[in-house]
Amino acid sequence: MKNRNEIAAVEFPVSPIRIRQCKCGCGYEFQPNRKDQLYIDKRHYDFDYNQNKRKVKNKHIIETEKQLRLNNRVLEKHYKAKIESQKKEPVKCYFDILKAEAFSTKNYMGISEEGSKIFYFLYDYYYRLFRNTNNQLIIEIYKHK
């Protein structure tokens, strides 16, 4: 519990620089020695710096994984919608339709070449792209066995 003197010190700091909260997120308040001092000390600064570096690094991983899951989901949706009527693989769709559902060819988990065919792998499905005689981009969808 704070006594009267401590409260007075917070309300009327002796230093002309106001007490501020450390920028690292530790929750501690401190009396800065300089106007531009944002952290209690170098330890708190380093902690914040490393945390942010990790966050930026993970941000990229998180976004990539999100896109991979979305891609997988879009493939699954079209595969399931057509496999019943088509009876056999692969399921064929216009690529533009998948693209409109935010499917992206930038992210995939693996790649396999079989002759002139290139297959791109996702979690449960894989696909290849080609142009039909009308020059439309077609996606062939397969399910992992």
- Contacts with Zn ion, residue ranges (CB under 5 A): 22, 24, 26, 44
Our CB check for Zn ion shows the closer of 23 and 117 to be 23
Give me the least distance between CB of 125 and Zn ion, in Å please: 47
Instruction: State which residue, 28 or 59, has the beta carbon closest to Zn ion.
Output: 28
Spell out the residues 6+ positions from residue 112 whose beta carbon is closer than 8 angstroms to its own: 118, 119, 121, 126
Instruction: Provide, rounded to whole angstroms, the least separation between the CB of residue 7 and Zn ion.
Output: 23
Nearer to Zn ion, 29 or 96 (CB): 29
**Burial label, 141 (beta-carbon count in 10 A; 0-12, 13-18, 19+):** buried
Nearer to Zn ion, 24 or 139 (CB): 24
Two structure tokens written together for 56: 């930026």
- Give least dist CB 33 to Zn ion, A: 15
Residues 6+ apart with CB under 8 A from 46: none
Please, what is the minimum distance in Å from the beta carbon of residue 63 to Zn ion? 28
